[in-house]
Amino acid sequence: MRIALFLFHFVAMSLALFAQDVPPVRTYQPRSGTTDPVAIPTPGTTRPGSISLQEGPGIERTMERFSDVKHVQQGFRVQIFLGDRRSAEETKRTFLQLNPDTPAYLSWLAPNFRLRVGDLRTRLEAEHLLRGLKTTYPGSYIVSDEIEMQRIPQAPVGY
């Protein structure tokens, strides 16, 4: 027991010897008399430029393959229905008529069909959607799910 206590004390003291001192923190002090902002000279005239984009066929094929793949990430959806197929399809049709901008997904989980809506990246977005749907669908709740990534609209070619 004494040997173990001695070894523990020896190791603790040797580690303390290798401790590093933290240097003092110095803050920025501007020189006295230099309160003017720094000015960077820029050309006085601007001219329209042109950009030419050159890409090989390998890049085009890679971009096509990338766009064909379904890209998913972890996120949230709001489940608004769980039941038989006919009722689920009717609920989906009604939901899409009221909310055409919100995607709806019908899936089968034995023995029921479930209807989940939205592609929400954060729980805060899901809470906001749930609050809006609670009056129409009182039994709805938030679920964690794989969501589809939102498409970014492309700028026109001449932009």
Kindly report the CATH number assigned to the domain that includes residue 116. 3.30.70
pLDDT tens readout for residues 106-124: 999 889 999 999 999 999 9
Domain membership of residue 137 (yes or no) is: yes
Domain membership of residue 2 (yes or no) is: no
CA distance 135 to 144: 22
**This model's pTM is above 0.75:** no
- Number of structural domains in the chain: 1
What pLDDT does residue 43 have? 66
Structure tokens at 76: 């949230």
CA distance 128 to 74: 18
Give the residue numbers spanning the domain of 114. 70-148
Q: Which residue has the higher pLDDT, 97 or 66?
A: 97
Domain membership of residue 154 (yes or no) is: no
Domain membership of residue 76 (yes or no) is: yes
Domain membership of residue 38 (yes or no) is: no
